[in-house]
A and B are shown apart, each in its own frame.
Chain A
């Protein structure tokens, strides 16, 4: 029983997350204060939404470096359309998601049909999308505070209090996406195809699995989720900055990998990713609270990634040898 628990890919991240919580709380009790928890949760779930979709994509053996730029581009597009009076806010929201989906579609088609590695395709797309966002806005943020009490803004990021905790609606969306994508990956036929596409694409094809279509669908999902997260973030922070999301792609990939999803594909876990998301965000928050210079953050993140990779590798070897 214990051996089976230890062999699970989520076990390592769980231990690390608990250790982080204990260490930070024991050094600074404010770490678990309602205010700090509320603040940490607000942004964590926005980045987390991207990581959840990325988990499925990485399980299928691909990854997407353009998510950070889409996080910045989609809200810029949405608010530019709305502010210039071209469309209503809900229509602009839908257009933002659809355009992101089309960008994901282009990524997917280039990767699967032209056989270009996803690293190169999505790196190119990152530059195209980021460049477009900067060009359209001349580098200036778009006004978003006019969203105010609009029902869409309330639906996406409205806040309310649960006891002393300030909770944003984005936490609700995050939980919904965790449940849906967790179900898709482990309980559905499509989830089986995702894992097979990443584990052995030729074997999957030989069994009649449409590997290409599966991957394209996941590129679209990844892009749309990045756009959704960016729009939520823009409303919460009252700013649609064309530069926002810079560097998020690597942080998101780190979250997914730390959670136990294989970078090479074939094995993925949504629960692990949820832990990976919190490990990195708690670390960022905790080291500031205990007085470590914020600039040292990357040292800790790098060490965590290396440590978790070593742990996953050791567990994998033990698993393969049947011990």
Chain B
């Protein structure tokens, strides 16, 4: 196994009296795709929000490459090279691909006071990134995001994370509402990101998608991690489903009958 990248230790999160996370430990290694699974309310989203700085943990520590870090905001997370791609991709649909890729970190040319965008550099890098992430169609980087399909938007978001050398890319339901071909495209983009040296946490309700792309599966139930080393090559979808629900075949049948 490669070196450890992220370690979340004893993370707890309470919303009033509700304990959303209870002493959760999660480790992600370098160049590893971890599938995070769990039923609704299992705590996946809360855990990801803590890691991406969207909500602070009530207690617990986060380490990056063994160094303790303090992540209290999304800006802190980005500064620590953690990029989160939500379902809506956090893109501005009216802006072009190139403008979205560099939003907040736009390259400037000429005197600083002119604040002038370096369009040439933005378009050049955007075109290269789109190729690197694996978009097969020839889409000009000046295309507005609103004209792209759901899968292409995910590709742009992944490309952005890759360009700014994020160590960890968190993908929250990236294949939601996508067709079969689009889903395969997104899974390919995720694999390309790993092959380029990035680690990923992949969250999806569709276990089949998770099995196709991840190196290891972590399962959460009722705010706790109940399994953290499931090898998708050695386990079946059914076995993982049982870990997620905590029920045997008989119990599942009884519950649905």
Contact = CB atoms under 8 A, between A and B. Distances in A.
A208 B93 contact: no
A266 B117 contact: no
A309 interface: no
B239 to A, nearest CB: 36
Contacts of A200: 90-93
B92 A206 contact: no
Question: Chain A: interface secondary structure?
Answer: helix
Question: For this complex, into which size category does the number of interface residues on chain A fall?
Answer: 20 to 34
Contacts of B92: 195-196, 199-200, 203-204, 266
A319 B108 CA distance: 29
A193 B105 CA distance: 10
B180 interface: no
B46 to A, nearest CB: 18
Given A188-B116, A190-B115, A206 B147 contact: no
Nearest to A320: B146
B166 to A, nearest CB: 13
Interface string A180-194: 000010011111110
A319 B103 contact: no
B75 A208 contact: yes
A190 B117 CA distance: 9
A304 interface: no
A191 B95 CA distance: 11
Interface in B75-111: 75, 78, 84, 88, 90-95, 99, 102-106, 108
Interface in A205-234: 205-209
Contact of A266 (B84, B94, B108): B94
Contacts of A208: 75, 78, 104-105
Contacts of A195: 92, 94-95, 99
B116 A204 contact: no
A88 interface: no
A320 B91 CA distance: 15
A266 B99 CA distance: 13
Interface string B115-132: 111000000000000000
A73 B93 CA distance: 39
21 contacts: A184-B115, A189-B115, A191-B117, A192-B103, A192-B106, A193-B104, A195-B99, A199-B92, A206-B90, A207-B90, A207-B103, A207-B105, A208-B75, A209-B103, A209-B104, A262-B94, A266-B93, A319-B144, A320-B146, A320-B147, A322-B147
Interface of B: 74-75, 78, 84, 88, 90-95, 99, 102-106, 108, 114-117, 144, 146-147
Interface of A: 184, 187-193, 195-196, 198-200, 202-209, 262, 266-267, 319-320, 322
Given A191-B117, A199-B92, A266-B93, 12 more contacts: A184-B115, A187-B116, A188-B114, A188-B116, A189-B108, A195-B92, A195-B95, A196-B103, A199-B95, A200-B93, A207-B105, A322-B147
